[in-house]
Amino acid sequence: MICQLCRNDKKLIKAHIIPKGFFRQLRSERRSPEIHTNKEGEHPKRAPIGIYDTGILCAECDNRLAPWDNHAQQVLLQNFSEDLAIYHNRQKIAYRIADFDYKLLKLFFISLLWRASISTHKFYQRVSAGPFEQQLKEMILSEDPGPPLMFAVTLARFSDPVVTGVLDPHRDKFEGINYCRFYLTGFVAYIKVDSRSVPDFMKDLYLRPDTPIKVILRDFHHSKDGVVMKDILRKSVRTHYTNA
Ligand SMILES: [Zn+2]
């Protein structure tokens, strides 16, 4: 078997694509997480130990990605305290995460997208990086997170804390710009797979070094919602900083 990262003929392991921790939190509810799809005609299935692919990585290469997977789980699977909340008109609209490492977190999303793109597992069949696959692989091999706008990452979080399942990732579009959308235990991660810049309403909302991440507390699929949210957020952040 050929490892897709090092291209060596080696024994391949059960490689997770979405790290196990993002499933484990759901499993603490004493039942296996439900894997959902919003594709027509498909029914939810139980996946007792998460989802893995036995045809993509050797153990050594999988270990290279582990620090990035670990960092993403540390940053995203924390209890979000009130100190991190951003309010507007007494309504909690976002969380601000200041404590993260751009390189590690960005490389997690780069490798997540690459792994999902090369995987032949049914769960990941609706994700493809197409002509960008090679570039993602080179970024992984050189441990280069790239500039913030390259595969820009924007995060949202369901405001409803009860999340019953994991949806399969899929392609998405905002104002004509191509994205892939991943569901990670309550989070939605939007990764830009397009050489054009981010849509206007996402201008302040993508992962950058030395800037706190703003996690919007909703799934802003429609860019109109996004424009409104961005406006509200910009005002409330300004207010927050002025008051501080
Ligand atoms: Zn390898």
- The whole-number pLDDT of residue 37 equals 57
**Whole-number pLDDT of residue 238:** 44
- Does the residue 25 lie in any domain? no
Q: Which of 91, 93, 99, 92 is nearest to 230 (CA)?
A: 93
Residue 54 resides in a domain: no
Distance (Å) from CA 214 to ligand 1 centroid: 35
Instruction: Please indicate, yes or no, if residue 70 is contained in any of the structural domains.
Output: yes
CA of 179 relative to ligand 1 center, distance in Å: 27
Query: 17: CA distance to ligand 1 center in Å?
Result: 15
94, 155 Cβ separation under 8 angstroms: no
78 within some domain = yes
Q: Give 156 Cα–ligand 1 centroid separation in angstroms.
A: 32
Q: Among residues 185, 137, 161, 151, which one has the least CA distance to residue 33?
A: 185
Instruction: For residue 50, tell me if it sits in a domain.
Output: no
Burial tier of 244 (Cβ tally within 10 Å: 0-12, 13-18, 19+): exposed
pLDDT at position 216 is 85
Each of the 244 residues of the chain gets a pLDDT tens digit; together they read 999 999 999 999 999 999 988 876 554 444 555 555 555 555 555 555 568 899 999 999 999 999 999 999 999 988 778 888 888 888 788 889 999 999 999 999 999 999 999 999 999 999 999 999 999 999 999 999 999 999 999 998 875 544 445 678 889 898 899 999 998 877 889 999 999 999 988 888 999 999 999 998 865 554 454 555 556 555 544 433 333 2
Sequence-separated (6 or more) residues with CB below 8 Å from residue 189: 109, 112, 153, 154, 155, 181, 182, 183
Please report the pLDDT score of residue 167 as a whole number. 73
What's the CA-to-centroid distance between 171 and ligand 1, angstroms? 27
- The answer to the question of residue 93 being in a domain is yes
Q: Kindly report the three-state secondary structure assignment for every residue of the chain.
A: CECCCCCCECCECCEECCCCHHHHHHHCCCCCCEEECCCCCCCCEECECECEECCCCEHHHHHHHHHHHHHHHHHHCCCCCHHHEEEECCEEEEEEECCCCHHHHHHHHHHHHHHHHHCCCHHHCCCCCHHHHHHHHHHHHCCCCCCCCCCCEEEEECCCCCCCEEECCEEEEECCEEEEEEEECCEEEEEECCCCCCCHHHCCCCCCCCCCEEEECCCCCCHHHHHHHHHHHHHHHHHHHHHC
**Full residue range of the structural domain in which residue 94 is found:** 66-243
What's the structural domain count of the chain?
A: 1
Task: State in Å: Cα 58 to ligand 1 middle.
Answer: 4
pLDDT for the residue 183: 83
pLDDT of residue 124: 93
Report the pLDDT value the prediction gives residue 222, as an integer from 0 to 100: 46
Would you state the pLDDT for residue 81?
A: 81
The reply to whether 14 falls in a domain is no
Give me ligand 1 centre to Cα 134, in Å: 15
User: pLDDT value at position 159?
Assistant: 53
Task: Determine, yes or no, domain membership for 13.
Answer: no
Specify which residues 67 forms β-bridges with: none
- Between the CA of 193 and the centroid of ligand 1 the distance, in Å, is 24
Quote the ligand 1 centre to 6 CA distance (angstroms): 4
pTM (2 decimals)? 0.83
Predicted confidence at residue 239, as pLDDT, reads 39
pLDDT value for 147: 98
The pLDDT of residue 220: 52
CA of 137 to the centre of ligand 1 (A): 12
* pLDDT at residue 161 in the model: 44
Ligand 1 center–CA 131 separation, angstroms:
21
Cα of 108 to ligand 1 centre, how many Å?
Answer: 17
* pLDDT, position 237: 45
How far does residue 130's CA lie from ligand 1's centre (Å)? 21
